[in-house]
């Protein structure tokens, strides 16, 4: 069983991820991990923190000579902006953020105790852990990629830049849509036998856990509700050269909670970032007076970065299901089982 956990705060000393259940014998490249960390910091519309941080990973445990040894793999990314104990208290919750609900839930009068962990800074170690899982999936020929579909309702790259510039000028923010594609996943990852083991549910849950994601669709997604079955379901064909195959992939590679051998296609809708430089009205949780929401350092748009996080969460789930399907604690034995499928 592959388990993933993260720890750390936005302005704390570091962010940490632990991956437990990786097989022994997997060669881990820090350069590969750091490339994905750099990709997470890119994209038009990013804010000031991207100029002061250059994220890189330290591997603290779980490897020897660059290879996993079966024990938990611990990954650490340091925060250059480490001043959590020096920053002022905040009592003006931002609409659309975890600020208000978290403060009420945990009984905080200082919202900083919420936003430090709720911050999208946490995703830096999701990306690090996801990069390791991509390395594992690459051993089985499974590739994951992403692309931005739209930002602020615009699909053209130049128009996207224009609407981001306009939003920045007005102190506003924008969301968008990105797509994840996982290619060469074998038939039968996940299962139909119980709700919490269905691959579509697990992928959707993992992607919905990313900050600011408000919707996930698979394949045709909501469009299936507008078409007859004859225009939705993908006919199953066979040839000696290809084996079983489909001419269409409206199901997005998932049927009955399992992968069906076609590319897994996932799309995520990201809401605009909650921190506005021209803030909305809110209520101070201490004084109960109407005030403007707090302003934190933030992005105008981060859809491209969120897509990289989406790749990471997809990789973690697929790695988990590959290990479930083909078993074993030794990479060589797992690959042998995989090749005999």
What is the average per-residue pLDDT within 112-129?
Answer: 96
Question: What is the percentage of the chain residues whose pLDDT exceeds 70?
Answer: 98
Average pLDDT, the chain: 95
What is the average per-residue pLDDT within 319-338?
Answer: 94
Crossing angle (nearest 10°) for helices 303-326 and 30-40: 140
pTM value is: 0.96
The pLDDT tens digits for 196-240 are 999 999 999 999 999 999 999 999 999 999 999 999 999 999 999
Check: CB of residue 32 under 8 Å from CB of residue 155.
Answer: no
User: Helix, strand, coil proportions of the chain in percent (round to 5)?
Assistant: 35, 25, 45
The CB-side HSE value for 82 (13 A sphere, CA atoms) comes to 9
Structural element, H or E, at residue 274: none
What is the average per-residue pLDDT within 140-153?
Answer: 98
Domains delineated in the chain: 3-339 (3.60.150.10)
In angstroms, the Cα distances linking 226 to 57, 217, 218 are 46, 15, 15
The pLDDT tens digits for 80-107 are 989 999 999 999 999 999 999 999 999 9
pLDDT level of residue 154 (50, 70, 90 thresholds): very high
Beta strands in the chain (DSSP E): 3-8, 14-20, 57-61, 63-64, 67-68, 73-78, 143-151, 176-183, 213-218, 237-239, 243-245, 254-255, 258-259, 264-270, 281-283, 290-292
The pLDDT tens digits for 25-56 are 999 999 999 999 999 999 999 876 555 668 99
The pLDDT tens digits for 254-273 are 999 999 999 999 999 999 99
Phi first, then psi, for residue 72 (nearest 5°) are -55, 135
How many angstroms separate the CA atoms of 141 and 144, rounded? Answer: 10
pLDDT value of position 50: 56
SS3 170: coil
pLDDT value of position 47: 76
pLDDT level of residue 296 (50, 70, 90 thresholds): confident
The pLDDT tens digits for 228-252 are 999 999 999 999 999 999 999 999 9
């Amino acid at each position: 069983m592959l388990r993933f956990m993260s720890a750390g705060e936005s302005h704390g000393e570091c962010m940490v991820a632990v991956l437990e259940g990786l097989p022994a014998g997997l060669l881990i490249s820090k350069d590969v991990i750091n490339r994905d960390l750099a990709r997470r910091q890119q994209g038009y519309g990013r804010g000031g923190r991207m100029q002061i941080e250059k994220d890189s990973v330290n591997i603290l445990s779980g490897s020897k000579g660059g290879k996993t040894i079966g024990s938990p793999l611990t990954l650490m990314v340091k925060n250059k902006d480490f001043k959590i104990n020096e920053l002022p208290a905040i009592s003006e919750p931002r609409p659309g953020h975890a600020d208000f609900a978290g403060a009420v839930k945990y009984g905080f009068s200082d919202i900083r105790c919420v936003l430090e962990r709720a911050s999208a800074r946490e995703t830096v170690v999701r990306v690090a852990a996801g990069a390791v899982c991509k390395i594992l999936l690459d051993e089985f020929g499974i590739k994951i990629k992403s692309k931005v579909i739209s930002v602020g309702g615009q699909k053209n790259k130049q128009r996207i830049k224009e609407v981001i510039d306009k939003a920045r000028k007005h102190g506003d923010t924008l969301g968008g849509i990105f797509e994840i594609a996982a290619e060469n996943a074998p038939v039968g990852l996940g299962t139909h036998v119980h709700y919490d083991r269905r691959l579509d549910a697990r992928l959707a849950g993992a992607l919905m856990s990313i900050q600011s994601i408000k919707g996930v669709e698979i394949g045709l997604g909501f469009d299936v509700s507008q078409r007859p079955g004859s225009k939705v379901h993908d006919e199953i064909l066979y040839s000696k050269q290809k084996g079983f195959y489909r001419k269409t992939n409206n199901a997005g590679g998932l049927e009955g909670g399992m992968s069906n051998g076609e590319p897994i296609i996932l799309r995520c809708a990201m809401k605009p970032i909650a921190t506005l430089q021209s803030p909305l009205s809110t209520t101070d949780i201490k004084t109960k007076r109407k005030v403007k929401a707090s302003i934190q350092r933030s992005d105008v748009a981060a859809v491209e970065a969120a897509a990289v996080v989406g790749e990471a969460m997809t990789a973690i789930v697929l790695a988990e299901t590959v290990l479930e399907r083909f078993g074993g604690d030794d990479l060589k034995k797992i690959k042998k089982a995989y090749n005999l499928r």
